[in-house]
Structure 1
Amino acid sequence: MTGRPEILFPLFAAVETLKGVGPKTAQSLAQIDLETPRDLTFALPHSVLDRRRRDSIQGLDLPAIATVEVTVGAHRPARNRGGAYRINVSDQEVEFQLVFFHGRSRYLEAQCPEGSRRLVSGKVELFDGVAQMVHPDHIVPLAEAEDIPEFEPVYPLTHGITQKTMTKAVHSALDRLPDLPEWIDAGQIKREGWMGWRAALLAAHAPRGLDDLSPEAPERTRLAYDELFAHQLTLALARQAERTHKGLRSQATGRLQSKVLAALPYRPTGAQARAIEEISTDMASDQRMNRLLQGDVGSGKTLVAFMALLVAVEAGGQSVMMAPTGILAQQHFESLQPLAEDAGVVLELLTGRDKGGERRAKLAALAKGDIQILVGTHAVFQQDVVFQQLRLAIVDEQHRFGVRQRLELAEKGKGADVLVMTATPIPRSLALAQYGDMDVSVLDEKPPGRLPIKTAVLSTERMEEVVNHLRRAIDEGRQCYWVCPLVGESEVMDLTAAEERFKHLRAILGEGIVGLVHGQMPPAEKDAAMAAFQRGDTKVLVATTVIEVGVNVPNATIMVIERAEIFGLAQLHQLRGRVGRGSAASTCLLMYQPPLSKGGRRRLEVLRESEDGFRISETDLQMRGAGDVIGTAQSGLPRFHIADLERQAPLMAVAQSDARALLATDPNLASERGKAARVLLWLMKQDQAIRLISVG
């Protein structure tokens, strides 16, 4: 596949080749990323004006757009410069005025001679009790009535571009639409009753009412599917390329796993058993595993991860688990330690803190194969870290871990399997958009014995009650997190808020009982404050959101979140998951500052009613939109022009299975449909995919 197919050349020409587009207009269009005719054909109208004929403006709910046939009456030129030039006109029932500012008599007398009949269209408003149409959009002789469309599409504009210019340019671009071969599966087209690609684009640019603008309109659904399918095809090609690299076959013997399972006080949940099975099957094949393990707060990811780490050891190799920070690595190490003892395997921790002789000793043991499972931070990427035989790498918290790091890690162990764990439940459509190249295992059940967390919503006016509640809990030997809001964008202000609260609580509860952690602290101080809380030396930890990810203090049973209404849903759910980790009943208090906005109230209600992270993330997606849910900047989420991830989630799943099915039967895209799919990839500018095919 050497270059862009010739059939697409007209769509990728310079935008100046379109009617009415000169260099200046081209510059303005480039401001909104419209650089070729192809881009203009994908810029769909966002609303539509109803310009159907009426007999009269009588009875209209003003202001409104109207299109009527009128008889032109007297002209009343402006009395002074810049004044209004008025023309009296009458339709079948009433009189009204056409108004022009800076109107030139000569031009207007030629346009609308007194006594002539004209078709006018524009916005009619009442001014001092008189109906007026100021600067009509259209004035044409009856013979040219056809020039005014019944429905006129309205396009998004930018500075220096008028509706007229935009409409003309788009129509000129649509005139170039080629008939492209069909890339969607024939059965699906029939089932959905979709039209072809070209017909769908033409229909989308000619809406006949508001219904035609909704994502559910058949022509828009079809075009959205094209975008999603191109994206999923790219991910499927990446996955296929990834799979051509031979992996290592790691066959589980169950020798070590059975020891751990026998020592557990409970049986794994169905979801855990299923995930362990999926991972073991992947590891036993000679293709490299690239799997995402998605688990809600408290769903028992640790056990599943450890079982996977053991498969590598049972197969005679080593495995590594990586966390984004030293504290989290330490924590994983501590939670895996008892399991490692049950299994009788050597587990070791490697972070940036290991220096000198201690570090050298660990590296030597690793290279010899004496350390079977390593837990660490990205310090395991360093050149001098060598494994005897790395078979599996587990990465915790994908968000801080891009595709590049996934590959680097896999390089450490030639052909090592990769498992990515995330504790953020992501709605299915976003998981597919972001991790579509991976296989996904979901933990959606809680292990037995986890008590539900009681969630209450209170106004900040009840601060005193909350502090008294805390005092009682501390007397009973409990611990508590107190999360302060992020005030505005400035970390300095956040700091003040957290410090004020710290002083306030310390004054009431006593010295040495309250600790403080915030983003501005030196890492060593932060670690010390966290460690003191983990040991139980301090009873209350006042924090900005640095504790969102991963801290594990089973004795902490109360979570207070101040100004909860300004946090995102997923973030609140993550914070709440810091409590309820022990055997005691836990409470989460969401404090808000009245009055609550509608969105704020809805978020807090969803949290009060549900502990299901997946349900919460779906609500979050509907309320905030895709970019905000994962933070567009680092999300690696593609930008879709037509597809709407919030409302068209099911389409994404169909696109994924369709793309994978096509590649399974036609890995080189050489069939008729395969060739059509190549054209689609060029059309959608999926350069990455195109490189993968041309290499393949």
Structure 2
Amino acid sequence: MRPESLFPAFAPITSLKGCGPKLAPLVEKLVGGGRVLDLWWHLPSGLIDRRYRPAVAEAEPGRIATLEITIDRHLPPRNPRIPYKITAHDGSGRITLVFFNGREDFLKRSLPEGEIRLVSGLVELFDGQVQMTHPDRFGTPEEIEQLAAVEPVYPLTAGVAPRTLAKIIDHALAKAPPLPDWLDPEYKRRQDWPDWREALFAAHRPDSQVDLEKDSLPLQRLAYDELLANQLALLLVRRRLKRLSGRLLQGDGRLRDALEKLLPWPLTNAQKQANGEIAGDMASDKRMLRLLQGDVGSGKTMVALNAMLLCVEAGAQAALMAPTEILARQHAETLERYCSQLGVTLALLTGRDKGKARAALLQRLAAGEIDILVGTHALFQDDVVFKDLALAVIDEQHRFGVSQRLGLAAKGQRDKGGVDVLVMTATPIPRTLSLTAYGDMDVSKLTEKPPGRAPVDTRTIASDRFLDVVGAVKRKIQSGERVYWVCPLVEESEQSDLAAAAERHSALKLALEPELGEGSVGLVHGQMGAAEKDAAMEAFASGRSKLLVATTVIEVGVDVPEATLIVIEHAERFGLAQLHQLRGRVGRGGKPGACLLVYSGPLGETARARLKTIRETDDGFQIAEEDLKLRGAGEVLGTRQSGLPEFRLADLAAHAELLATARDDAKLILERDPKLASPRGRALLELLYLFERDAAIQYLQSG
């Protein structure tokens, strides 16, 4: 149950003065939720400082100034397109106030001739004269004195006025309760951090630019609170999974030894080490929960197959789950090549399998006639019953959340011990991100590539050299190779100038098919149905089409050994990790691969840095760290659809050290106070509720 102290935090924003039913939906969209605490986490992005109060003659153009002036004359325009002007003076000089669409009655009432008024706004020089267009604030000296000398500036959306939002946020802050402190007192003292409520108020009331920086003490404190909630929740989940008894799985090695003889080249040292770590986990009576991180082409699939074969040697079943049908089919084809020679039965189950065929497959699965089942999230469905599932391998984990991880793990037989879970990702994840998403896992890394893979030759080329690029594509295809052409969007939106995939496909068909033959230019994009996508991929894989125009649906895992060139249009719009993933689609056969990054200038600093990094290095882990620095965590891996946590206050690039401390702190807390029963433990429960990580609290109760 959520503690009573936090009821105000979760009250709807419509309970706040000034936030009626008309305004509430706009505010909700802006701040990412409709509760009072969503306003707490909507922090200022700037400030207006009204403390500069010079004489008119000394006011610096380009600065916000607050001036005390006597109003001289109102000059209403005869033509509504001409601005309304008011002349005024002080002892040092004259100034003109300018209003577009000014309402005469309102202005005459607010700024009466002959009276002293304070005005605050941006000072400008026009024809050598001091002027102020649309002062932000004006009124009597008494009225202005009541205003804050420094005002926060919040990110806005259409339909919400800055002053209105600031007032609503003030009302929300007034509801913030004093909460018991969940921080270690000694650590808090060393960091010189304020109390939680004080930090929240200070973050919303910056006094200078320095207070807006990520390393200001109040912002550090709030970020740490959020990171601590995240780490504590992950450790509770991990502890729960680790507590579930595992089963001792030990094979006799016959299938794994036979596999090694079938491989085209010897295992790398990193693969051998990962195999050893996984076998060690599976032989223990604790559940395995391991992340296998490997760069594009580092041989993860063979490590996963090795683990599944160990499982089959021990007389049990294994499952491999992929995020898309294309990927599931491809895994099935790759693994079948080896399984068929090893006498291991492998089957594929996707959402498209229906009726009798599906029923027959499920019957064989339940009878134990299928050793390894490959599929999409169709594997989660209730009617999918294994005779004895002992290992679940999940590919491209960042597409699935923690709950799905637990879902597949629940398919095993309780009486035999639970299901071991091995998660694979080809997206090298920076250490900081990996802690926030996979803090509940042990990690194996594949840092070497098998000997058959040469680095991909990567070059940048300006989009005005389009014909040269088409020429390079034609030459590749004429020499028997295949090419990907990646576009960032499917349909032209009216405002957008992006090259849409459909349009690019038509242009390339016109340019190439007369020479290369009808149907040689294929198209695949995210708006297509699964069958259509599969057909397009199949045509490319079999060589019926030679050039595949695609959106980023080919980003993960697609394997066509004959593809040696990839053209990425508008490369400046892609993240580093994504460019690296895409580049990894080529050069997978014996021939060297090439990647052309086509960009449209002029390039911003970040885009230039990204393209430079991708040209200079092939190391996915280095690329991932660089990506985090350049773009921040929100965009790396596209957090929104990735099952990675989204942080409201913490910035993983700026607060990486705090994350490591929060990790250690959470470990220590649970070692000393596993039930969170001490005074600090009870305060930490409030922290978990405050940051909505309370789903993990059930794992405290369930022991």
String of CA shifts for 1:180-224, please: whole Å, max 9, x gaps. Answer: 322223454345332322332232233221111011212111111
Cα distance change of structure 1 residues 88 and 559 upon mapping to structure 2, 3 Å threshold = closer
1:612 matched residue in structure 2: 619
Cα distance change of structure 1 residues 658 and 312 upon mapping to structure 2, 3 Å threshold = farther
Cα distance change of structure 1 residues 440 and 21 upon mapping to structure 2, 3 Å threshold = same
Q: Following the alignment from structure 2 to structure 1, what is the Cα–Cα distance between the partners of residues 151 and 382?
A: 63
Q: Does residue 640 of structure 1 match 2:639?
A: no
Q: Following the alignment from structure 2 to structure 1, what is the Cα–Cα distance between the partners of residues 107 and 566?
A: 74
Q: Is the 8 A contact 2:73 2:113 kept in 1?
A: no
Cα distance change of structure 1 residues 442 and 125 upon mapping to structure 2, 3 Å threshold = same
Q: Is the 8 A contact 2:88 2:96 kept in 1?
A: yes
String of CA shifts for 1:126-155, please: whole Å, max 9, x gaps. Answer: 34543244546254548x886454433334
Match 2:487 to one of 485, 492, 516: 485
Q: Following the alignment from structure 1 to structure 2, what is the Cα–Cα distance between the partners of residues 469 and 682?
A: 57
Cα distance change of structure 1 residues 618 and 58 upon mapping to structure 2, 3 Å threshold = farther
1:542 matched residue in structure 2: 548
1:672 matched residue in structure 2: 679
2:137 matched residue in structure 1: 137
Q: Does residue 422 of structure 1 match 2:425?
A: yes
Q: Does residue 577 of structure 1 match 2:600?
A: no
Identity of counterpart residues, as a percentage? 48
Q: Counterpart of 1:584 in 2: which secondary structure?
A: coil
Greater shift, 522-531 or 381-390, is seen at 522-531
1:590 matched residue in structure 2: 597
Q: Is the 8 A contact 2:75 2:86 kept in 1?
A: yes
Q: Is the 8 A contact 1:484 1:498 kept in 2?
A: no
In structure 2, give the amino acid aligned to 1:611: D
Q: Counterpart of 2:590 in 1: which secondary structure?
A: coil
Q: Does residue 443 of structure 1 match 2:446?
A: yes
1:213 matched residue in structure 2: 212
In structure 2, give the amino acid aligned to 1:506: E
String of CA shifts for 1:154-185, please: whole Å, max 9, x gaps. Answer: 34456776555555555555455544322223
Give the alignment of 1:510-589 within 5 angstroms. Answer: 510=517, 514=520, 516-519=522-525, 527=534, 530-531=537-538, 533-534=540-541, 537-538=543-544, 540-545=546-551, 546-589=553-596
In structure 1, give the amino acid aligned to 2:300: K
Q: Counterpart of 1:682 in 2: which secondary structure?
A: helix
Q: Following the alignment from structure 1 to structure 2, what is the Cα–Cα distance between the partners of residues 377 and 108?
A: 67
In structure 2, give the amino acid aligned to 1:220: L
1:89 matched residue in structure 2: 89
Cα distance change of structure 1 residues 607 and 202 upon mapping to structure 2, 3 Å threshold = same
1:309 matched residue in structure 2: 308
How far did residue 61 of structure 1 move?
Answer: 3.2
Q: Counterpart of 1:630 in 2: which secondary structure?
A: coil
Q: Counterpart of 2:585 in 1: which secondary structure?
A: coil
Give the alignment of 1:9-158 within 5 angstroms. Answer: 9=7, 11=9, 29=27, 32-33=30-31, 38-68=37-67, 70=68, 73=70, 75-77=72-74, 84=84, 86=86, 88-90=88-90, 93-96=92-95, 101=102, 102=104, 114=115, 121-133=120-132, 134-135=134-135, 137-141=137-141, 147=146, 149-156=148-155
2:459 matched residue in structure 1: 456
Give the alignment of 1:291-330 within 5 angstroms. Answer: 291-325=290-324, 327-330=326-329
1:227 matched residue in structure 2: 226
1:683 matched residue in structure 2: 690
Cα distance change of structure 1 residues 382 and 206 upon mapping to structure 2, 3 Å threshold = closer
Q: Following the alignment from structure 1 to structure 2, what is the Cα–Cα distance between the partners of residues 242 and 504?
A: 57
How far did residue 681 of structure 1 move?
Answer: 2.1
How far did residue 275 of structure 1 move?
Answer: 2.8
Q: Does residue 652 of structure 1 match 2:659?
A: yes
How far did residue 570 of structure 1 move?
Answer: 3.4
Q: Is the 8 A contact 1:347 1:375 kept in 2?
A: no
The two structures have a TM-score, normalised by structure 2, of 0.82
The two structures have a TM-score, normalised by structure 1, of 0.83
Q: Is the 8 A contact 1:474 1:539 kept in 2?
A: no
Q: Is the 8 A contact 1:495 1:518 kept in 2?
A: no
Q: Following the alignment from structure 1 to structure 2, what is the Cα–Cα distance between the partners of residues 367 and 21?
A: 57
For the aligned residues, what is the CA RMSD? 4.2
In structure 1, give the amino acid aligned to 2:202: A
Q: Following the alignment from structure 1 to structure 2, what is the Cα–Cα distance between the partners of residues 563 and 161?
A: 34
In structure 2, give the amino acid aligned to 1:393: A
In structure 2, give the amino acid aligned to 1:453: V
Q: Counterpart of 1:52 in 2: which secondary structure?
A: coil
Q: Following the alignment from structure 2 to structure 1, what is the Cα–Cα distance between the partners of residues 201 and 565?
A: 58
2:496 matched residue in structure 1: none
Q: Following the alignment from structure 2 to structure 1, what is the Cα–Cα distance between the partners of residues 388 and 107?
A: 89
Q: Does residue 502 of structure 1 match 2:512?
A: no
Q: Is the 8 A contact 2:540 2:548 kept in 1?
A: no
String of CA shifts for 1:433-469, please: whole Å, max 9, x gaps. Answer: 4444444433233233421111122345555555655
How far did residue 284 of structure 1 move?
Answer: 3.0
Cα distance change of structure 1 residues 232 and 461 upon mapping to structure 2, 3 Å threshold = same
1:336 matched residue in structure 2: 335
Q: Is the 8 A contact 1:515 1:541 kept in 2?
A: yes
Greater shift, 258-267 or 573-582, is seen at 258-267
In structure 2, give the amino acid aligned to 1:613: G
Q: Counterpart of 2:453 in 1: which secondary structure?
A: coil
In structure 1, give the amino acid aligned to 2:557: G
Cα distance change of structure 1 residues 500 and 682 upon mapping to structure 2, 3 Å threshold = same
Q: Is the 8 A contact 1:330 1:349 kept in 2?
A: no
Cα distance change of structure 1 residues 163 and 627 upon mapping to structure 2, 3 Å threshold = closer
Q: Counterpart of 1:391 in 2: which secondary structure?
A: strand
Q: Following the alignment from structure 1 to structure 2, what is the Cα–Cα distance between the partners of residues 660 and 138?
A: 55
String of CA shifts for 1:517-556, please: whole Å, max 9, x gaps. Answer: 4247776676566456545x55823232443332323343
In structure 2, give the amino acid aligned to 1:495: A
Q: Counterpart of 2:410 in 1: which secondary structure?
A: helix
String of CA shifts for 1:296-343, please: whole Å, max 9, x gaps. Answer: 11111022112221332343322122334555344334433565478x
Q: Following the alignment from structure 1 to structure 2, what is the Cα–Cα distance between the partners of residues 23 and 376?
A: 46
How far did residue 675 of structure 1 move?
Answer: 0.9
Q: Following the alignment from structure 1 to structure 2, what is the Cα–Cα distance between the partners of residues 211 and 671?
A: 37
In structure 2, give the amino acid aligned to 1:516: G
In structure 2, give the amino acid aligned to 1:348: L
Q: Is the 8 A contact 1:569 1:616 kept in 2?
A: yes
Q: Following the alignment from structure 1 to structure 2, what is the Cα–Cα distance between the partners of residues 254 and 472?
A: 48
Q: Is the 8 A contact 1:515 1:529 kept in 2?
A: no
Q: Following the alignment from structure 2 to structure 1, what is the Cα–Cα distance between the partners of residues 548 and 512?
A: 9
String of CA shifts for 1:22-81, please: whole Å, max 9, x gaps. Answer: 88777875564576654444433221222225443444431321135x4x5464245689
1:349 matched residue in structure 2: 347
